[in-house]
Amino acid sequence: MKVCVDAGHGGSDPGAVGTAPFRLAEKEVTLQVSVLLEQELEQRGHWVVMTRRIDRTLGLLPRARFANRLKAELFVSIHANAAATASAEGMEVYHFPESREGRRAATAVLESLVTAFPDHKNRGVKEANFAVLRVTAMPAILIETEFITHPRQLEFLSDPESQEVLVEAVADGIEEIERA
């Protein structure tokens, strides 16, 4: 399968920023996880294209158009969630409201994530009119890996071992989509 992996935010757009117990910008986590996901998917025989491999500013529409131009079969955008309260936590996956295939992909990936991390809160599959979900011509999902504003989840997101398990779970979910 040809998968477009999108590392959310980047460059002048840091995304959400976790500050306790240390400072970490979403754009850093999304890039680390996306590069690991690229490697994992390629090891499994998928063709992967990346919207960015370095810390650079990239608009939402160019991300979607890039995937369309390269005729990706699945678009996966990696993010870390944020909330005004430090107690918010959990994983969720978004798809465009009118995309049946997007919903199927989001469900498969979320199920794989919560299986790999049963102690994390399952916030569910959700619909959103995000540009990267709306403009892409293929099924598209946006994964909120955890809350960067939650101290324990910030540590989880920054941990290389957790990132490895996270990308394996996402890759397992993607392979489940292919099997269905």
CA angle 90, 7, 123 (to 5 degrees): 15
* SS3 (DSSP) at 107: helix
CA distance from start to end of the chain = 13
Comparing CA positions, the residue from 153, 13, 1, 10 lying closest to residue 75 is 1
Distance of CA 124 to the CA centre of its chain: 14
* Catalytic-residue membership of 42: no
Burial per residue of 80-97, b for 16 or more beta-carbon CB atoms within 10 angstroms, e otherwise: bbbeeebebbbbbbbbbe
Active-site residue, from 28, 40, 89, 144: 144
Q: How many helices (H) and strands (E) does the chain have?
A: 6, 8
**Which residues are catalytically annotated?**
144
